[in-house]
Amino acid sequence: MKKLLAIAVLLSIFYSCANYSTGELTGVSDRGQYFEPEPFGMVFVPQGSFNMGPVEEDIVWAQNSQVRTVSVDAFWMDETEITNNEYRQFVYFVADSIKRRMLGEQLDDYVVSEDEFGNPLDPPHLNYETRIEEKEEEINEILKPLYYQGEEKFYGLKQIDTRKLMYEYYWIDYTQASQKSNRYNFKTKQYDGYIVNQNGEKVKIESRKDFIMRDVINVYPDTLCWIADFTYSYNEPYTKTYFWHPAYDNYPLVGVSWVQARAFCIWRSQLLNFSLLGRGESFVHDYRLPFEAEWEYAARGGLDLAKYPWGGPYARNIKGCFLANFKPLRGNYTDDGGLNATPVGTYSPNEYGLYDMAGNVAEWTESAYDESAYVYMHDLNPNYQYNAKPDDPPALKRKVIRGGSWKDIAYFLQCGTRSYEYQDTTKSYIGFRCVRSYLGNSKR
């Protein structure tokens, strides 16, 4: 009798669900429709195929790229390089978080220890709602270690010790997680594989958390790169003012390593996603550096086999004006209108609406550099990645840079020219821009 009663209850529950009343496969209801709005400051790059690689003779005999046809999915891309003022938002966020963490250790107003239902949070969250009044004596005393002290204070000014602007961030290593040997074993009810963590250590996989990688970096740009990059050259004014002075707010960010650029992308993703969650949305958008193939495809602007992003074979237009910011003549940096970096968007965009895909500053990509990468990369969303460990040799820390810069000759401005720099180095002529994968119908 009890068995029949249980069956009757199950049947009543089953037939009471409207989704199943017809007996047909209709999918899950109330999913809604989604159309991805255009992200602020980004342009849409449609899916497509193109001939990746140089469009003319390899005159320098670099032999690091071969022409091949590849296809890439649609994505969003920043219309300009990340500017000083945009990156400053990241630096200010890190500084503000450090202050709140320091205050939260002694004052309850700067931490949230319970959720909206009164359940304890483990660990407690930082409270970003409470205003920090540094003029108050108690708060000023708590935050004092964050600023330069004693003889390290130049001219007695109160300045944040940029060496303490450390940002802790996380990402999921999907590459290692996708390996069959690292998958969850449903027979043994555990993970049987091993994973190489960020420190280069091989550890047994205990749970999903082992696929989460952690790193801590300093986020402040290397302002001394303006002096270090050029010997017997006076560039001290740029070291003192280029990043922080309002006059350079709309100039492209430089002096950041590949690692810092990637950390910025992760922070930017969290900035958007937490805002969406606060509005009741659950969509996850991940900003990242563009893959090498994505960058070249976007730079061509739909003009396949084009030498430069503007489509023509020359660096001047019909009126004889230069079309990008680079080094047009030996010792003459100013013929194109700029001595070094110029404000973003100074020159005309390509057919996709992207500015400065040639010249101004070179740009980091997500891709690791290997001379023969074009040979073994897939022809669908091709990309070669390697997460270099601290003790890896320098050759494994090379990352692809594209686009050429204000100090480069026209050869490096070509869409198919590739070069590299080491992921932990900073240069006064390398910046970056972000991309975001497009969701849904990529034909838009």
User: In this predicted structure, what is the pLDDT of residue 283?
Assistant: 67
User: In this predicted structure, what is the pLDDT of residue 96?
Assistant: 94
User: In this predicted structure, what is the pLDDT of residue 65?
Assistant: 78
Ranges 116-120, 372-376, 378-382, 420-424: which has the least confidence: 116-120
With cut-offs at 50, 70 and 90, classify the pLDDT of residue 105: confident
- The domain limits of the chain are 51-83+219-437, 96-164
User: In this predicted structure, what is the pLDDT of residue 288?
Assistant: 96
Q: What is the mean pLDDT of residues 406-420?
A: 94
User: In this predicted structure, what is the pLDDT of residue 360?
Assistant: 96
User: In this predicted structure, what is the pLDDT of residue 324?
Assistant: 94
User: In this predicted structure, what is the pLDDT of residue 231?
Assistant: 92
User: In this predicted structure, what is the pLDDT of residue 282?
Assistant: 67
What percent of the chain is modeled with pLDDT above 90?
Answer: 62
User: In this predicted structure, what is the pLDDT of residue 31?
Assistant: 73
Predicted confidence (pLDDT) per residue in 212-224, tens digit: 999 999 999 999 9
Q: How far is the CA of 267 from the CAs of 29, 90, 100, 219, 411, in angstroms? A: 34, 8, 17, 11, 34
Contacts by 262-267, CB closer than 8 A, 24 or more apart: 262/288, 262/289, 262/366, 263/167, 263/169, 263/215, 263/217, 263/219, 264/82, 264/87, 264/90, 264/219, 264/432, 264/434, 265/289, 265/434, 266/169, 266/170, 266/171, 267/90, 267/93, 267/167, 267/169
User: In this predicted structure, what is the pLDDT of residue 330?
Assistant: 86
User: In this predicted structure, what is the pLDDT of residue 13?
Assistant: 44
pLDDT above 80 for 61: no
User: In this predicted structure, what is the pLDDT of residue 97?
Assistant: 93
Q: Tell which wins on pLDDT, 310 or 11.
A: 310
pLDDT above 70 for 15: no
Q: Tell which wins on pLDDT, 142 or 390.
A: 142
Q: Tell which wins on pLDDT, 227 or 17.
A: 227
Q: Tell which wins on pLDDT, 147 or 15.
A: 147
Distance, CA of 242 to chain centre: 22
In single-letter form, the type of residue at position 234 comes to Y
User: In this predicted structure, what is the pLDDT of residue 14?
Assistant: 46
With cut-offs at 50, 70 and 90, classify the pLDDT of residue 19: low
What percent of the chain is modeled with pLDDT above 70?
Answer: 92
With cut-offs at 50, 70 and 90, classify the pLDDT of residue 441: low
User: In this predicted structure, what is the pLDDT of residue 9?
Assistant: 44
With cut-offs at 50, 70 and 90, classify the pLDDT of residue 442: low
With cut-offs at 50, 70 and 90, classify the pLDDT of residue 93: very high
Q: What is the mean pLDDT of residues 390-401?
A: 93
Q: What is the pTM of this model?
A: 0.91
Q: What is the mean pLDDT of residues 182-201?
A: 90
Predicted confidence (pLDDT) per residue in 24-49, tens digit: 888 888 776 777 788 999 999 999 99
User: In this predicted structure, what is the pLDDT of residue 443?
Assistant: 59
Predicted confidence (pLDDT) per residue in 290-312, tens digit: 999 999 999 999 998 889 999 98
Architecture of domain 51-83+219-437: Alpha-Beta Complex (3.90)
User: In this predicted structure, what is the pLDDT of residue 2?
Assistant: 52
Closest CA to 434 of 84, 91, 86, 77: 77
Summary mean pLDDT of the chain = 88
